[in-house]
Structure 1
Amino acid sequence: MTTPYGSDPGTALRATDPAGGPSAVALRATDPAGGPSAVALRATDPARWLEAASAWRFWAVAAGSWAADVRSCAARLRSVWTGSAAEALAARLGRLVRRLDLFRLECWAADQALSEFAASLTRAGPADDLAAASTADRRATEQLQALFLTEASPPASPSPSCTASPAEVGRWWAGLGPEHREWLLVTEPGTIGSLDGVPAAARDRANRLLLDQLPRGGAALVALRDRLAGGDGPRAYLMALDPGGDGRAVVALGDPDRAEVLLTHVPGMTADLASFGGELDRAERVAVRAGELAPGRAASAVMWLGYDAPDFLGEASSRARAEAGAPALRRFQDGLRVTHEGRPARQTVLGHSYGSLVVGTAAARAGFAADSVVFVGSPGVGVDSAGGLHVPSGEVWASTSRTDVIQWAAVSPRSLAEDLLTSQIRPAGAVLAFSRPENDLYYGTNPADPAFGARTFPSQPDAGHLGYWDEGGPALDALTNITLGRTDVIPR
C-alpha cells in the first residue's frame, strides 16, 4: 500500500502539512493574539487538511489488515498447539491486536479532527471569519496534541443498564477518564456504538471498529465501508450498526454534535442495509444544499435507519413497524440533545413514505426532541391533524407530488405496490388509473391536504415517490430551508 505521506504515519501529524500548508499549531502561531491571521486564513487550503485526514483513514485500514493477520495466525496456532506456552503466546497476540485496534481508534480521531477543521475553514471562507477559524484551530490543535498519549484501562464503574436514558448515559460517559473510554471503545465497540447519549465521534470510532470485525463479504457492507473511507462530501459518522436481519445503520454526514442545524432523515418501505446508499444520498443532498444556501452555518444530516422498515405492502399496511421504531427514534433525538456542544441545534426530523408514520408516531407523544417535522410522500402519519403532534406551532410541514402514487394508497393497494417499486407514475396515468387522489389515506388525513393543518410546500409535478431530493427542484430547496430554519422563504 502507498500513501502520499510515506511509510511513517506520524508524518501526517507533524508541524507542516506535506502538501505545503500550515498545521493547526503553525496556523495559531501566526497571530500574537493566539488565532490565525487573515493572511494565513486566506492561504490555507481546506483540501490539504482533507488529504491529511484521508492519510489517517489509510493508516486505520492498514492497521486493520495487520490485526486481521494476527487474529488469523492466533486461530491457526490454537488449532495445532496447546499448553501453557501456547496460552501465553495467545495472550501476547491478544494484547498486540488490542494495541493495533487502539492505534486505529486514534487514527480515526485524527481523521475526525482534521476533517472537521477543514469543514470549519470552508465555512469561514474568504471573508476572513477569524473568530470561527480561531475556535476551530484551537479545538483541532487540542485534539491532535492529545493523540496517542492515553493508555487504555478498564473502568471501575459498570456500564449503564439497557433502560438508562440518554441523559443518564451522557453523565456516565462524561464521568469516565479518557483511558476508560478508550478501553470501552476497543473492548465493547458494539455496546458503546449503539448508546444514545455517547458523543457521535466516539460512536463513530466504535462502530468503524465493529464494522471491520464483521465478515468482509456482502455488497451492503462493502458499500458502507466504501462510503466511510471516501473523502468526497461531508465526513461520515457511523452512529449505529446492526447487521442482523435486513440490517440497520445510522450515518451522520458532518458531526451532529457540532452542527447548528441538524436533519434526521427517516426512510420508508423497503429501506434496509442493502439499500442504504440511496437513502444516504438523499440526506446528503440536504446537507450539501445547506452549505450552498447558508455557507457560514454548520449543518449535519443523519440517515436514520434505526428500525425494521417493512419490506412488502402487507407489512406496510400495519402500524406495527412504526410503533416498534418510534421509541428508538425518540431516544436517538434525545441523545442528540444530550451530546450536542454549545447552543442547542435546530433539530428537524423528516419522514418519507412509511417513515412519516414512524415520525408521526414518535411526535404524537409529548417530549419529542424536534423543532420541526417534515412529511413527504406520506401514507398518513397516524393522527388526523397537525394539532395531534407535539411539535412547535407552525413547524409541521408536508408535501406530496401530484405524481406520487402514495396519495392513492387507500384506493388501490395492489397498484400502489407495483408503482412504488418503479418510483413514480405520470399525471395522465394517475388520473386514468385512480381518478383522483385521496385525502384519507392508510393512516389518517393526508398531511399535505389543507384540512390536516400542516404548512405545505411545493414539489415538482414529476417527482413521483422518490424525486423530492432531485437537484434543482423546489422540494429540495424547501427541505433545506426548513432544516436551516429559513421558513419565511418557502413558497406555499
Structure 2
Amino acid sequence: MNLTDIDAWDADSLADLASGLEGMLVAHRVRDLQRRLAALRVAARDDELQVRADGEIRAAVAVADGHPLQRQISELSAQASELIAEAVLVGAEFDHARASVTAHVSADFRDNVTRVNKDWRNLCSGGQAEIVKNAPELIANLDGIPAAVRDVANRARIDTERRRLQDDSIRIQQELQREFFGGRLSNTGAGLWYAQRKLEDLDALEELLREDADFVLVMMDMRSGERGFAAVAVGDPGTADHLSVTVPGLNTNVKDSMRGMALEARRLRDEAGRQLHTAGRGHEKVCTIAWIGYDAPQMTGPGKFDVGRASLDVSRGTKARIAADALSSFFHGLRASSVKDNPHFTALGHSYGSLATSLALQRNGYVGVADVVFYGSPGVRAREESQLEVAAGHVYVMKAEGDAIAGFGRFGGDPSDRSFQCLSTRSGYSPDGIYRERAFGHAEYARTGDNGELRMTGYNLAVVIAGLPERAVLA
C-alpha cells in the first residue's frame, strides 16, 4: 500500500445506493484520506519538498541538521505514514464494499433500502452517534435510515447548507460582475436566483421547526433540484401505526408551501387520532408527512417565460416521472425503518402530485400503500386499483365544485369517471355529528372551514388515514 493507491480509489462508485450504507461510509473515509493527502502535498510543495509514493518526504537540496525545514519534513513524514497505515485498513473495506456493489447491482430496489436499514441497525450506538455528529450529510436523506435519526442529521446541516449557499451567491455575483452586460446574455443570473430561493427555503424550514416539537425533518435537500426539497412529518414515522404522505402539485415549494402543508398535516393527524379514539383504538399512533421531494411546476422563476414553461411542465408528465422514483424510494424507506410489523400507509396526491403518486405506486415493486386518495387531480396513470397494487375499493377520488384542475383529464382521463370510490366534497354532517363545510375550488380540500372544523374533504382524508374508510362520506 502506498500513497498512489489512495489516488486510484474511486469513491464515487461506492456512493451509489446499490452499495448500501457500507459503501457510503467507506466512500466517506476514502474521500477524507484523499483530502488529507492533497493537503499534505500542498504543504510540501509550499516548502519545495517532494512527496514520494512510499511516504518519504525529500527536499530538492540537502538540508542541514537543525534547519527549520527538518521539522517540517519530520511532521509531513509522520502524516504520510499515518495516511498509509489508515489506507491499509480502508483498502480492505473498499474492496469488500466494491464487491458488494457488484453482487447487488441487480438487486431489487426494496432490497437496497432494506440493506441500508440493516447496515444502520448493525452499527453499534457509538458508531451511529459518530456518523450523525461527524458526517450527517451521509445519512440525512438516505431512505432506510430511521426518520428520528434523519431529523437530527438534517437539523445539524442547516447552518452548513446556509453557508454553502451564501458562498455560492457571492461567487455567482462575482461572475456576473465579470460578464458582459452583467450576465444578461447568459444563465448565470438564474443560478443566483435559485441560490437565493434556497436560502429562503432554509429560513422557512428553520422557522417552521421552532413552531412545534412534533415536527420531524425527514428530508432536507438543497442540492438535487432547482428549488429546495424537504419532507416534514408530524409525529415519528418509525413508531406510527398509520402513516400518510401528501404530494403537492403546481406552484408548491418549500418557502411558500411547506408551512401550510405541515399545518394541514397536523390537523389531519389530530382528526385521525380523534376518530381512532372514538373507535376504541386510541392507542394507535398516527403520523402525517408533507413531502416536497421534487421540482413541482412553477409559475415564477428567474426568466421571462416561466409562466409558459410551467404550463408546458404541467401538461406533460416529465416532472411527475422524476418525482415517482424519489417518492417510491421514500415509501420503501419508511416501511424498512418502521418498528411496526405492518404499518398502514396512505398516499395522498393533490393536483399534479396525484399523477406523481400514481406513477410512484407502479415503480420499483410494491411500496406497501394500502389506501390512496387523489384530489383535485388532472388525471392519473391508472384505470383500476390493481395497477396501483391496492385492494379493490381502496382508491378514492375527490373533485370539488369550482375546481378547474380536477377533471382536466390530461393524464389518462378524469379519475372520478373510473371505478374508484368518489368521496363527498359537499357540506353536511359527518357520522360523528359535526357539521362540515364544503370544499370549493382547487385549494380547500385539507383546510378548515369558518367553524374551525375540517371541511368534509378533510374529514374524509382523516378517516382514510386512520384506517377507518367505512366512516368516510361518499359522494
Distance 2:93 2:130 in 1: 13
CA contact (8 A) 2:423 2:460 kept: yes
User: Quick one: which of 121, 128, 134 aligns to 1:174?
Assistant: 121
Corresponding position of 1:469 = 446
Distance 2:340 2:384 in 1: 34
Runs of 4+ in 1 over 6 A off after TM superposition: 82-85, 158-164
Distance 1:207 1:199 in 2: 12
- Of the structure 1 ranges 367-376 and 384-393, higher mean CA displacement relative to structure 2 is found in 384-393
Describe the SS at the equivalent of 2:130.
helix
CA contact (8 A) 1:387 1:453 kept: no
Describe the SS at the equivalent of 1:165.
helix
2:410 pairs with 1:442? yes
Alignment deviations for residues 22-65 of structure 1 (CA, whole Å, 9 cap, x no partner): xxxxxxxxxxxxxxxxxxxxxxxxxxxxxxxxxxxxxxxxxxxx
2:237 pairs with 1:256? yes
**RMSD after superposition:** 2.8
CA contact (8 A) 1:347 1:371 kept: yes
Distance 1:384 1:203 in 2: 36
Corresponding position of 2:317 = 319
Task: Return the offset for 1:462.
Answer: 4.4
- Equivalent residue runs for 1:145-164 within 5 Å: none
CA contact (8 A) 1:368 1:391 kept: no
Distance 2:137 2:264 in 1: 27
Describe the SS at the equivalent of 1:445.
coil
Describe the SS at the equivalent of 1:241.
strand
Paired amino acid for 2:419: G
2:225 pairs with 1:242? no
Task: Return the offset for 1:470.
Answer: 2.1
Distance 1:219 1:475 in 2: 31
Distance 1:281 1:448 in 2: 27
Distance 1:223 1:274 in 2: 5
Corresponding position of 2:379 = 380
CA contact (8 A) 2:385 2:391 kept: no
User: Quick one: which of 308, 318, 330 aligns to 2:295?
Assistant: 308
Distance 1:190 1:489 in 2: 43
Describe the SS at the equivalent of 2:116.
helix
- Equivalent residue runs for 1:298-447 within 5 Å: 298-311=285-298, 312-365=310-363, 366-407=365-406, 409=408, 441-447=409-415
CA contact (8 A) 1:403 1:462 kept: no
Q: TM-score, normalised by structure 1?
A: 0.59
Alignment deviations for residues 102-149 of structure 1 (CA, whole Å, 9 cap, x no partner): xxxxxxxxxxxxxxxxxxxxxxxxxxxxxxxxxxxxxxxxxxxxxxxx
Paired amino acid for 2:466: L
Corresponding position of 1:95 = none
Distance 2:335 2:382 in 1: 26
Alignment deviations for residues 402-436 of structure 1 (CA, whole Å, 9 cap, x no partner): 11111363xxxxxxxxxxxxxxxxxxxxxxxxxxx
Distance 1:214 1:368 in 2: 31
Distance 2:121 2:407 in 1: 50
- Could you list the runs of 5+ residues in structure 2 that have no partner in the other structure? 1-46, 48-68, 76-89, 106-110, 167-198, 299-309, 427-437
Alignment deviations for residues 73-119 of structure 1 (CA, whole Å, 9 cap, x no partner): xxxxxxxxx9999xx9xxxxxxxxxxxxxxxxxxxxxxxxxxxxxxx
- Equivalent residue runs for 1:189-268 within 5 Å: 189-215=136-162, 218-230=199-211, 232=212, 235-244=214-223, 245-268=226-249
Distance 1:332 1:462 in 2: 30
Corresponding position of 2:423 = 457
Paired amino acid for 1:225: E
CA contact (8 A) 1:251 1:302 kept: yes
CA contact (8 A) 1:383 1:443 kept: no
Paired amino acid for 1:299: V
Task: Return the offset for 1:444.
Answer: 1.3
CA contact (8 A) 2:385 2:394 kept: no
Distance 1:407 1:204 in 2: 35
CA 446–408 in structure 1, closer or farther in 2 if over 3 Å, else same: closer
Paired amino acid for 2:400: S
Distance 1:212 1:369 in 2: 35
Task: Return the offset for 1:395.
Answer: 1.1
Distance 2:359 2:119 in 1: 29
Distance 1:407 1:328 in 2: 24
Q: Percent identity?
A: 30
Paired amino acid for 2:422: T
Task: Return the offset for 1:397.
Answer: 0.8
Describe the SS at the equivalent of 1:347.
strand
Distance 2:393 2:320 in 1: 24
Corresponding position of 1:18 = none
Paired amino acid for 1:397: Y
- Could you list the runs of 5+ residues in structure 1 that have no partner in the other structure? 1-81, 89-153, 410-440
Task: Return the offset for 1:157.
Answer: 5.7
Paired amino acid for 1:486: L
Distance 2:386 2:368 in 1: 17
Distance 1:248 1:303 in 2: 11
Q: TM-score, normalised by structure 2?
A: 0.61
Task: Return the offset for 1:323.
Answer: 1.0
2:276 pairs with 1:289? no
Corresponding position of 2:50 = none
Corresponding position of 1:5 = none
